[in-house]
Amino acid sequence: MSVGRRCPIYTILQDSTKMKLVSTALLFCTILFVVAADIIKPYKYEVWPPGTKQVVEIDGDFHEDDTVAIFFNEDRDALLAGGPAYQKVFEVFVPWEAQSLPGQYSELVIVHRYQYYLNNVETVWVNVTAE
């Protein structure tokens, strides 16, 4: 047996390294199992005429305390829809102010919170145009 293995400091360092590995593995598992709101609808680059009602559909395994807020990134003050995440389907009114600039898209943002704490943010690009 080597001299280093008899030393108590070596044992402490070895245990410390094991604890770091365990805590890193637990953190990794936690990240893998975070509940995320996957956007089902609208599809990427879908056309949304302004002044119409559209459907936003999300998917996920939500808890009772999960909520979502839906808005356009260009106007974060105008909440389009929100409520309990387990509802999964939200009807939104597309405001005229949300029109995409020519050749560009508007970013629809879905903010997912668990017990009032930010949990996840998902986005999808839509084409808000009257054409």
DSSP annotation string for 73-109: TTBTTS--EEEEGGG-EEEEE--GGGPPPTT--EEEE
The whole-number average pLDDT for the span 93-122 is 92
Tell me the helix, strand and coil percentages in the chain, rounded to 5. 25, 40, 35
Whole-angstrom Cα distance, residue 128 to residue 30? 37
Residue range 38-128 in CATH 2.60.40.10? yes
The whole-number average pLDDT for the span 18-38 is 56
The whole-number average pLDDT for the span 100-105 is 92
For position 80, what pLDDT does the model report? 94
For position 32, what pLDDT does the model report? 43
The whole-number average pLDDT for the span 2-26 is 59
Whole-angstrom Cα distance, residue 85 to residue 58? 8
Q: How confident is the model at residue 77 (pLDDT cuts 50, 70, 90)?
A: confident
Q: Write the DSSP symbol of residue 37.
A: -
Domain residue extents for the chain: 3-32, 38-128
- pLDDT tens for 57-66 read 999 888 899 9
Whole-angstrom Cα distance, residue 49 to residue 83? 24
Would you say 112 and 122 are in contact if contact means Cβ atoms under 8 Å apart?
Answer: yes
Q: In this structure, how many other beta carbons lie within 10 angstroms of the beta carbon of residue 16? A: 10
Compare 84 and 74 and report the one with higher pLDDT. Answer: 84
Q: How confident is the model at residue 76 (pLDDT cuts 50, 70, 90)?
A: confident
One-letter amino acid identity for 24? T
pLDDT reading at 90 higher than 80:
yes
Beta bridge partner(s), residue 62: none
pTM of the prediction? 0.69
Compare 109 and 38 and report the one with higher pLDDT. Answer: 109
Strand order in the sheet with 81-84: 46-48, 117-128, 106-114, 66-72, 81-84
